[in-house]
Amino acid sequence: MAPVVGKARKQLQNALAAAGYPSRVLVACSGGPDSLALAAVAAYFGRRGHVDGHPVTVAGVVVDHQLQAGSAEVAAKTASVLRDLGLSPVEVRTVDVASTGFGPEAAARDARHAALESAADDLGCDAILLGHTLDDQAEQVLLGLARGSGTRSLAGMRPVRGRLLRPFLGLRRQETVEICEAEELEPWHDPSNSDPAFARSRTRVEVMPVLEEKLGPGVTESLARTAAILQQDADFLEDLANETYLSLVQREEGVAWLPEDAVRGLPAALRFRVIAKAAADVGGQQPGYGRLQAAEALLRRQGSAGPVQLPGHVSVSRLSLSDLAQERPRASGDSANAVPREAARCGKLVFRHQKPSQQ
């Protein structure tokens, strides 16, 4: 057995152990070196029928995005290879990649993940194995840096996200090629991986080699290590922000609001995250940093201010104490000078979802 095969088997074994030894796993395979190597390694455990004595069966799925000529033939050939490896059952899922407004790569990823989750449901699989490598992780971090992304994006891809497992994040891409050679498999090489039209492809083919040349070997490993460190920080901040948000948010008639004094007093790292959570709570999308800055700036305005528009048809406004006093219920018996209980404390940031206008 080639040493790299033993290394890969150990990484998959550890990933399945960390996931609680799922009894039925699904390998997502495009036919490329990374996912084909993963399929070969998973098939080894499937043939044995167990991982560390825990029963396991291994199924396979190939997603045909229909974005290239001959994609159906590539998918069918890949499915045949998976069956020869011993995966069962093996399915081909054909998807239509619809525009989402976030670029073709994101649209293809969304369609692929939806197909994988559907296949896992239909086949009763507890885990979905993806073949992303350490090189993919490094490229993800570099792209996040180039886009000015925050901690969440720079943390890269998670080894575990729901049912998705990425056991090969500790392997280099070249090692997956070596596994395919050792297993006498002929992977398919996706031409889009070297297409300069895609930012990730440019990063892979043009940027990373220059970094390795100019900064010395080890850049890829360092970028991936950065992701691992930031994942811990991002998880801590995410948990703290969630607890803080739930302790502050008030909801009424489809609107979420936050007491401005409490939000203003939060550290900036939490303040921005809490505002983003409020936007998501009413049906919005993750705001970019510029939009979050605009919403956060409402806390420094005098009187009522806004609205600031956030992605996903969400508006956020600051409602001042005086406006809150005018909003008090006019129920019989109320004093003319009564002030709502929340207004006695401070103003508030109000988040509401607005239906898009029909042209």
Q: What is the DSSP letter of 352?
A: E
Please report, for the chain, how many H helices and E strands are present, in that order: 14, 13
Distance CA 298, CA 278 (A): 14
What pLDDT is recorded for position 335? 41
pLDDT at 183 over 90: yes
Comparing 100 with 148, which gets the higher pLDDT?
148
What pLDDT is recorded for position 344? 39
pLDDT at 334 over 90: no
273-329, pLDDT tens digit by residue? 999 999 999 999 888 889 999 999 999 887 778 799 999 999 999 987 656 555 555
120-146, pLDDT tens digit by residue? 999 999 999 999 999 999 999 999 888
pLDDT at 179 over 80: yes
88-127, pLDDT tens digit by residue? 999 999 988 876 556 677 788 888 999 999 999 999 999 9
Rg (CA), the chain: 25
Q: At what angle do helices 33-48 and 173-182 cross, to 10 degrees?
A: 50
Please tell me the number of Cα atoms within 13 Å of 298 on its side-chain side: 29
Amino acid of residue 177 = V
Q: Which among 132, 131, 130, 104 is positioned nearest to 117, based on CA atoms?
A: 130
Answer whether 0.95 is exceeded by the pTM: no
CB atoms within 10 A of CB 89: 15
230-243, pLDDT tens digit by residue? 999 999 999 999 99
What pLDDT is recorded for position 69? 85
3 state SS of 315? strand
Token output for 290: 């510029």
What pLDDT is recorded for position 153? 81
Average pLDDT of span 69-80: 93
What pLDDT is recorded for position 7? 97
For the chain, strand residue ranges (E) read: 24-28, 50-51, 54-55, 57-64, 90-94, 127-129, 160-161, 164-165, 250-252, 255-259, 305-310, 314-319, 348-353
What pLDDT is recorded for position 146? 86
Q: Which among 298, 246, 256 is positioned nearest to 279, based on CA atoms?
A: 256
State the average pLDDT for the chain: 88
Distance CA 311, CA 279 (A): 9
What pLDDT is recorded for position 195? 80
Q: What are 319's strand-pairing partners?
A: 348
pLDDT band at 343 (very low <50, low <70, confident <90, very high): very low
What pLDDT is recorded for position 45? 98
DSSP output for 100-160 = -SS-HHHHHHHHHHHHHHHHHHHHT-SEEE----HHHHHHHHHHHHHTT--HHHHT---SE
